[in-house]
Structure 1
């Protein structure tokens, strides 16, 4: 496991579905609260990653393109594969929670042949698997998890970080906006639930 950050927190619809969407967002952060530790995990940490991923899919199914039922079918080899090649992060709140309270991940987006627009002019990193547990929201955890991906993308020389957020997940969208992301105008059905839509957001890393 590779420590990424150990710092104090910075101060910083669809009817019933819209009311329940809490995703990764949070209110202003109380700087007196314990610091967030974000660490990179690898294949040997697959059990810990699986536990957080399953919790995320169960608590916020509308926030992900895959489903809890799909994830429950994965064996050890699949979980290890998902932690190989690109960075995955878990967040801890020492002294507050005994187990990880959030997660995020990244991969390099490969455009389809002939695809234009966002993916022209440099590498695009996709921010994925973003989730913060309900009890940890409002403590700056989400901002630290986003920062870990942005930092990795910057160090690898990427031109931008892109993400998808479910339309109506206003707390998550506000978090991403605070972290420098803006809407791209992209819109499409959520793969795990086509009755919901998701929108694209991007943060450019080059002037």
Structure 2
């Protein structure tokens, strides 16, 4: 199957997915370091217990992590969401799709976000995210899916000269 129409399965993660999630996290950080609040060097310091806990978040009530799994078993995309406080609506985090599986034609991003939105809808009326101000590709993808910039921002944690811009969507 060509990358333009990849065959992937989208599902929630479990603790047993820790190795695939670890490997995908390393890929995420190497490919788009400004998109995440951790460096690749720091991520490589985490042990198995950390990765198991991260993968297990996919199946909790307060958070979700979904993964796109290619036919060969390789993890090629992921998204997560959590409830920062009981009163707050869900927040989208840790979004990544392998370059070979990106684009509207591939549909992987849409399938991952559909799963997140289905989880988020009964937990609040909105889904919020933060995106690095220099990540134009990600901002465009979010806008295509109905997210709008709120005007709010926070300093980017790894270099406060830059900002993470808040975007929100009704779900």
CA distance in 2, matches of 1:34, 1:64: 25
Which blocks of at least 5 consecutive residues in structure 1 are unaligned? 1-28, 112-121
CA distance in 2, matches of 1:201, 1:132: 19
CA distance in 2, matches of 1:88, 1:71: 18
CA distance in 2, matches of 1:192, 1:204: 29
Check the 8 A contact 1:123/1:160 in 2, yes or no. Answer: no
Deviates more, 1:137-146 or 1:176-185: 137-146
CA distance in 1, matches of 2:132, 2:107: 20
**What CA deviation, in whole Å up to 9, does each residue of 1:50-104 have, x standing for no partner?**
110111011110111122122111111112222333211111343xx65121111
Check the 8 A contact 2:90/2:120 in 1, yes or no. Answer: yes
Find out whether 1:89 has 2:66 as its counterpart. Answer: yes
Aligned to 2:141: 175
Residue 130 (structure 1) aligned to one of 95, 99, 102: 95
Greater Cα radius of gyration, structure 1 or 2: 1
SS in 2 for 1:44: helix
SS in 2 for 1:124: coil
Aligned length: 162
Which has the larger helix fraction? 2
SS in 2 for 1:48: helix
- TM-score by length of structure 1 reads 0.71
Find out whether 1:166 has 2:138 as its counterpart. Answer: no
**What CA deviation, in whole Å up to 9, does each residue of 1:132-174 have, x standing for no partner?**
11121122211222221111111x3322110011112121111
Superposition pairs for residues 1-207 of structure 1, below 5 Å?
Answer: 33-82=5-54, 83-84=56-57, 85=60, 86-94=63-71, 98-110=73-85, 123-138=88-103, 139-154=106-121, 156-205=122-171
Which blocks of at least 5 consecutive residues in structure 2 are unaligned? none
**RMSD (Å) for aligned C-alpha atoms:** 2.0
SS in 2 for 1:110: coil
